[in-house]
Amino acid sequence: MAWHERDFLASLTSVAPRTITAYRSDLSAFTEWARRGDVHGPEDVDRTMLRRYVAHLATRHYARRSVARKVSTLRRYFAWATRTGLVPADPSLRLSAPSGEGRLPRVLHQDEVNGLLDVAPAATGPGPPAVRARDDAVLEVLYGSGLRVGELCSLDVDSLDLARGRATVWGKGSKQRVVPLSEPSVAALRSWAAARQQLLTADTPAGALFVNRRGRRLTPRDVARILDRRAASPTHPHALRHTFATHLLDGGADLRAVQELLGHADLATTQRYTHVSRERLRRVYDATHPRA
């Protein structure tokens, strides 16, 4: 109780469940490390101790992105501890963290996308036709609208307006946005709507759009399994979102429009896709121009 972890996590009212899980893990790792140094509460933590912890993480060969996330957790925790009076001053102010590796997100080639979306029914293996219809709709919406996998899983039936070709999505920070649905997405969603009843059970949450074979709301892990079955090589669900954004920019879409479609609060987050797009264009140039 000395660290008040539960109170801190309860204060995160506008944070996604997966982010809360990460905060819980990061904070528990820090408090366990602090206890080994005979520090048993936030009031005994100073900036020097936090810097030693960051150095400790580096010696354990954590990736720079992981260390940066852990530092971000500590900053948020001690900002909360300061506001609530647990500590007189925030020791995490100006605490530096290594920058991320800056890796470019993986983007699928068009033939890879086609392989996912246009796969022959026989290639998906045995199973109820309703599962095939669901999988088709899931993949079409992920690529066609660029949703985060958590946004897709949280969709309800009444989130869709198929007549107008759009969906209402709740994104990070409980922010709502309306995204367009492609024609193939609308067609796949209509097929799924016709078959959805076959997978519903007494335990199905009211209104859940996508459900698994047990009738429960589809989870990100369920979506990952769909991709495991369909993709020729390991593919994360988020790769379809990266591909959506990059293909829009390759086609000449305005950066601000892509930001709106993705639900990014900061344009800088969207701008990384311009680097991906330029890299793709460079590869095309090098491979096809006679004097490249």
The residues assigned a catalytic role are 148, 172, 238, 241, 264, 273
> For 196, which DSSP code?
G
3-state secondary structure 121-188: HHHHCCCCHHHHHHHHHHHHHHHHHCCCHHHHHCCEHHHEECCCCEEEEECHHHCEEEEECCHHHHHH
Contact 167, 157 (CB under 8 A): no
Strand partners, 161: 166
How far is 145 from 173, CA to CA, in rounded Å?
Answer: 19
Strand partners, 177: 169
How many CA atoms are closer than 13 Å to the CA of 85, on its beta-carbon side?
0
Q: How far is CA 172 from each of CA 34, 149, 150, rounded to the nearest angstrom?
A: 31, 12, 9
User: What six digits make up the tokens of 181?
Assistant: 């649905």
How far is 172 from 196, CA to CA, in rounded Å?
Answer: 27
How many residues are recorded in the chain?
292
Query: Residue 135: CB partners within 8 Å, gap ≥ 6?
Result: 124, 226, 229, 230
